[in-house]
Structure 1
Amino acid sequence: MARRASGPWSRLRYRFDNLMVHGTPVLIGWLTLVCLVIVVPASVVLVWADRGAPSGFSGRATAVWQSVGRTLRLGGEVGPPVYVAMSVLLALVALLFVSALVSLITTGLNERLLALRLGRSVVLEERHTVLLGWSDQVFPVVAELVAANANQRRAAVAVLADEDKAHMDGEIATHVGDTGTTRVICRSGATTDPAVLPRVSPGTAKAVLVLSPGGPDGDRHVVKTLLALDAAVPRAEDRVVVAAVREPRHHTAAVLAAGPHGHVLSIDDIVARLLVQTSRQPGLSLVYRELLDFAGDEFYLVPAAGLAGRTFGEALSAFATTSVAGLVRAGGDTVLSPPPDVRIGAGDRLVVITEDDDTAVPADTVPPVDEDAIVAAGPRAPAAERLLLLGWNRRAPLIVEQLDQYVRPGSSLDVVSLSDAATLRSAVSAVGGCVRLLVTFHHGDITERRTLSGLDVPSYDSVMLIADDGGSAQAGPETDDRTLVTLLHLRAVEEAAGRELSVITEMTDDRNRLLAPVRQGADFIVSGRLISLLMTQIAENRHLAGVFDELFSATGSSIHLRPAADYVLPGRDVSFATVVESARRRQECAIGYRLRAEAATGPSHGVRINPDKRVPVRFGTGDAVIVVAEG
């Protein structure tokens, strides 16, 4: 048993605590008594020690009173009793007024400082960007907004999340660094509370991005935040609202909550489709990375008034430093890679890839085309494929469904996962089953070398490595750890086989991509970063939503990497304008190329987006032309 403290200091503290609980009147009384006990004796000592003090008792008593009055701010006046009493009363009133005023000012300043420190004050900005929610997506979104606002003098990003303001400020400073001309303002509060949302002034913002906090309830949190936003501020046509949900079953509810002018991305659908496209076209992930960030050239919509009445095919060669990829009709319909003979209307806009929205300027002269270098390649007969899927998560059924739409009948897919085969077959059947693709399920741990050794991995045309959550509803941070271990084994298989494997890897955290034991320029799909880039692009230009909807839809046009030898003669210097013309004759829009010899050299890894059409280039074996086309 602990010995009870019973010393004098403990008893004194105990009595003081009991005194504090009696309230303000008792505290004032005790404070007055303590002051008098100290001030009066000290004043007596001062007067009696003063050689110039009066000699009589009455005079010294008056001097003591004056000393006490000056010390306690009571004036110390002498004279008739009524005069002294009134002077003391006025001094007490003045003292009370000044004390109350100081107290009110101090309290107000403390409350203001506390509100600023806790992030509860209102952001008074206009045409700023608002981020609602907190997750790892915040950092790439803020970084891309900073890059997009680099040419603006005063730009602001307001972040509202149910987190400590100091914590958010520190995390953004650590992960983003210098924000240049963009001010990042953090505020604390629940994003699902309509009374809290005005702290970041969403009513005067140019764009509002709703981020998912992750976890099993992340999508429901996004939907609730969208409803709170609609309740807090009236809908406005000039404000962009962008959100993202993970599971397709929540997409419809989120679209309804976002309203007619909102844009909701379905993360699982987009990631699954891009994984499938990249698995069949190595290097495609690098192309999307170049197009979606603000560091290089990206998509813009520019007026087509100067080209009104001309054909789309003529517009393809009208620019020297801008690549044309499609049209947005006056009615709002987006068409990527339309037929070359389509006429451009006066109210149409061109979908272009250029450095900035003011660099899409038609050239004075059409760049020259080398007719002798153009190749009229015939259609390639697709062949059956052998594909390998390592891992299983909630997106895997969508991946299988998408593969079944792309491959030739007779193609096969082997799936290896810790989940049991019956569960996986049931999941695939739930999304529609397979018609062209023969799917075989294998139970095994992909992080074990013997599992991969028994698969003959080099015999597959393509390998997809996705986060294996073992059948759980949500993938945690440890799934990337398992992916890194599997990549180590695949690297060993690659070295033993003496050739490169076509591997596309899915990761949840972009920081782990830097740890991946793979060759430079390997294909990675980082779901969080990909969706962050898409959301930022739409937030900066709402009209790009239609462009991305078509690029990531199951039908319509998409981006392809096709052999350069199908367009121009290899080993010959040709202008990129010649490549554009060759692609035009195949009803495609050439937007760049990839050189195999530079595939291992960063940061572009051989990818050239929107090259100058006048600059010559020589293609060799393994080089590819990047086109926007159907199929």
Structure 2
Amino acid sequence: MKRGNFKEKFNYWFDSIMQRGTATMILMLFIATMLVACIIGLLVSLLCGGTVEEGIWISLMHTLDGGTLAGDALDNKIHIFFMTLMTVFGLCFTGVLIGIINSSFEQKLYEMRKGTSKVIEKDHVVVLGFSYTLYTVIESLVDANENHRNQCIVIVGDHDIEEMKDAVDAHVKNFKGTKMVYRSGKIYEEHMLDCASVETAKAVIINGKNDVHAMKSLLTLKSYFKDHEVKPEPHISVVFNDARFVAAGELAAGENASIINCSDGISRIIAHASNQRGLCDVYEELLDYKQNEFYCEDVPEVVGKTFREVLFMFQQAIPVGIYHKNKTVDLNPRFSECIGKGDQLILFEEDDGAYRTGITSEPVISNIDESKIIKGNETKKMMMDLIILGQNHRLDDILREYDKITHDNATVKIVDTETELKYRLSEYKNIDLEYIQIDDFYAESLLEVLKGTEFNVLVLTDYDIDYEDADAKSLLKLIELKRIEHENGIKFATTCEIRKSANKVIAEKVGGENFVVSSMIGGLLSVQCSEYPPLYYVFKEILSSKGSELYMKAVEDFVELGVEVNFNTIVEAAACKDSICLGFRKVNPTTKKAELITCPDRDYTCTFNEGDTLIILSED
């Protein structure tokens, strides 16, 4: 076999030498310089006289300092010729040396921009994965860190660092003192976990592009913790959009991890929001860190008291449950249950520790006006029929949940341009299901479907296309619905599923009452669970069919309309029905715009009208 000629072998050898780095290239340059200096020095000593050592030294000095040539005598032409050659060679040597150093410096700057160095931080939050849901996660973490100093977020993604930084800076305008660090690499490679110092982090949020990437990253993370004997392990939060990954994720993660079944939770929110105006806004406020959130607090003053007594001991916080010392959550517990030593109180408040403002040693009930409280059972609200525009993989989950909360023989129409349903559906007890094919989603085609009895409209997003294109299709449907409402005088409430939180701002200007941003809910849940791990069990119950859930209920079922009533009286009215009131949604009679008020001061007074609703935590 032919092994290559001398030129090919030399080129291969030279390439191998050059690939060894800057130090090798500089060493080779010095060796070449000394070799040339020795040859010229030898020639000068033979042709012009003098010793070899003197000839080499003089040649070397002309190489290193071009000005040496100006001091040479002009009577020896041969000497001048050789020294001129060495001076020219010296200029080339200097240029090549500067080029090597400059190239090495640029390469080092590029590597520094890539963020290859190990992160030296402690108690930071590591976010693994760069996708469009990242901005929601960062904004929520920044808001959570607002009252805490020296907080750091480390982002690991497979994009260039400058690209990630520019994208985050464009979406998050104010970091409120939170330090941002970026590292570029695959989120399921162990050396990137080491680079991000996950072993010293307080929490790791896995933000994979899809469930497969998230699962692979989770397995890599757990393997890294085991191999490096990390104790205690940072809390892990990971969101799965496919319920089939949840069981495997829980098995792989073990303890100290929040495996969030986002698909079921979002399906339940959509089903309930389609008939409860304002419910989506309530969930958004509960999950972000902009106003009021859930916190687990050690409150010594409540030990030994019943939950009903505790309910009226706070002026600017609302107790919603108990986090027991055995790590179980009791949400909306029996009001006769006593708070034990070591139990934490789950409070709905503005910030952790905010309950201290206005806490009392005994329940305050003197300002409760019993005469304004409506006794007896709540009025059973009639669920309207539902028209669903589009279909996706959540359709059956939404319908199964809607079947549980709707009235008998409720009509649900699924409207799409497909010739038939794309997804297999279950059998429903209370729903009369009808599928209608239309040519397009323009007003002319939709008008025939929308005529008839009172109904609500649900717009589902398309998960088979890019999220920007899917949101664009949903916006088009909203515009056409608004056009029908304006031109034909048909009134209906619209709930719309949006995939990107930034597009919600556009959708709100187009029309609609409820917007379920699936990516935002998943991101906010992961942050909540990473900041306060016990809240995982709180939201797991709220977003499941078991235990207590959130409802928007008519004010007139709790207190009288048209009279001034304080919030403490409203809390008592809800307690009489084994429920907890977190706030209310009030509609301005003139502008018809709704205002959401959560966790007001107990002395806050308000006059309610028909159409106003209370935010209620109850079992039904």
Distance 1:599 1:475 in 2: 40
User: Does the alignment pair 1:319 with 2:311?
Assistant: no
Report the TM-score, using the length of structure 2 for normalisation: 0.83
User: Does the alignment pair 1:437 with 2:454?
Assistant: no
Q: Is the 8 A contact 2:37 2:59 kept in 1?
A: no
Q: Give the aligned partner of residue 416 of structure 2.
A: 417
Distance 1:175 1:606 in 2: 26
Q: Give the aligned partner of residue 402 of structure 1.
A: 401
Distance 2:313 2:32 in 1: 90
Q: Give the aligned partner of residue 331 of structure 1.
A: 326
Q: Is the 8 A contact 1:416 1:446 kept in 2?
A: no
How many angstroms does 1:494 deviate by? Answer: 1.4
Q: Give the aligned partner of residue 363 of structure 1.
A: 360
Deviations along 1:515-546, one digit per CA (max 9) or x if unpaired, are: 22656782100101111111111111001001
How many angstroms does 1:63 deviate by? Answer: 10
Q: Is the 8 A contact 1:243 1:264 kept in 2?
A: yes
Q: Is the 8 A contact 1:521 1:601 kept in 2?
A: no
Q: Give the aligned partner of residue 629 of structure 1.
A: 618
Distance 2:117 2:307 in 1: 52
Q: Give the aligned partner of residue 250 of structure 2.
A: 255
Q: Give the aligned partner of residue 349 of structure 2.
A: 354
How many angstroms does 1:287 deviate by? Answer: 1.0
Cα distance 1:110–1:488, how it changes in 2: closer, same or farther (>3 A)?
closer
How many angstroms does 1:607 deviate by? Answer: 0.4
Q: Give the aligned partner of residue 72 of structure 2.
A: none
Give the counterpart of 1:452 among 446, 452, 476. Answer: 446
User: Does the alignment pair 1:620 with 2:613?
Assistant: no
Q: Is the 8 A contact 2:296 2:345 kept in 1?
A: yes
Distance 1:183 1:555 in 2: 40
Q: Is the 8 A contact 1:458 1:497 kept in 2?
A: no
Q: Is the 8 A contact 1:484 1:517 kept in 2?
A: no
Distance 2:421 2:456 in 1: 24
How many angstroms does 1:194 deviate by? Answer: 2.0
How many angstroms does 1:236 deviate by? Answer: 4.6
Give the counterpart of 1:428 among 425, 440, 453. Answer: 425
Q: Is the 8 A contact 1:209 1:242 kept in 2?
A: yes
Correspondences of 1:106-255 after superposition (within 5 Å): 112-213=108-209, 218-234=210-226, 236-237=231-232, 239-255=234-250
Aligned-partner residue type, residue 619 of structure 1:
F
Distance 1:375 1:26 in 2: 93
Correspondences of 1:258-273 after superposition (within 5 Å): 258-273=253-268
Cα distance 1:31–1:598, how it changes in 2: closer, same or farther (>3 A)?
farther
User: Does the alignment pair 1:554 with 2:568?
Assistant: no
Cα distance 1:180–1:401, how it changes in 2: closer, same or farther (>3 A)?
same
In structure 2, stretches of 5+ residues that fail to align are 1-9, 19-24, 70-96
Moved more, 106-115 or 333-342: 106-115
Q: Is the 8 A contact 1:128 1:204 kept in 2?
A: yes
Report the TM-score, using the length of structure 1 for normalisation: 0.81
Distance 2:578 2:436 in 1: 42
How many angstroms does 1:27 deviate by? Answer: 7.3
Q: Is the 8 A contact 1:223 1:254 kept in 2?
A: yes
User: Does the alignment pair 1:462 with 2:459?
Assistant: no
Moved more, 113-122 or 63-72: 63-72
Cα distance 1:445–1:206, how it changes in 2: closer, same or farther (>3 A)?
farther
Q: Is the 8 A contact 2:303 2:339 kept in 1?
A: yes
In structure 1, stretches of 5+ residues that fail to align are 1-15, 44-56, 77-100
How many angstroms does 1:243 deviate by? Answer: 0.3
Q: Give the aligned partner of residue 500 of structure 2.
A: 509
- Aligned to 1:559, what secondary structure does the other structure show? strand
Distance 1:259 1:478 in 2: 38
Deviations along 1:403-449, one digit per CA (max 9) or x if unpaired, are: 1122122112100123333544xx113xxx21221111112255222
Q: Is the 8 A contact 1:390 1:446 kept in 2?
A: no
Cα distance 1:197–1:26, how it changes in 2: closer, same or farther (>3 A)?
closer
How many angstroms does 1:599 deviate by? Answer: 10
User: Does the alignment pair 1:609 with 2:598?
Assistant: yes
Deviations along 1:209-240, one digit per CA (max 9) or x if unpaired, are: 00121xxxx21111110000011124655621
Work out the percentage of aligned pairs sharing the same amino acid.
26
Distance 1:191 1:111 in 2: 24
Aligned-partner residue type, residue 590 of structure 1:
C
Distance 2:443 2:99 in 1: 72
Aligned-partner residue type, residue 133 of structure 1:
G
- Aligned to 2:354, what secondary structure does the other structure show? coil
Cα distance 1:616–1:458, how it changes in 2: closer, same or farther (>3 A)?
farther
Count of paired positions: 565
Aligned-partner residue type, residue 321 of structure 2:
G
- Aligned to 2:326, what secondary structure does the other structure show? coil
Cα distance 1:298–1:26, how it changes in 2: closer, same or farther (>3 A)?
closer
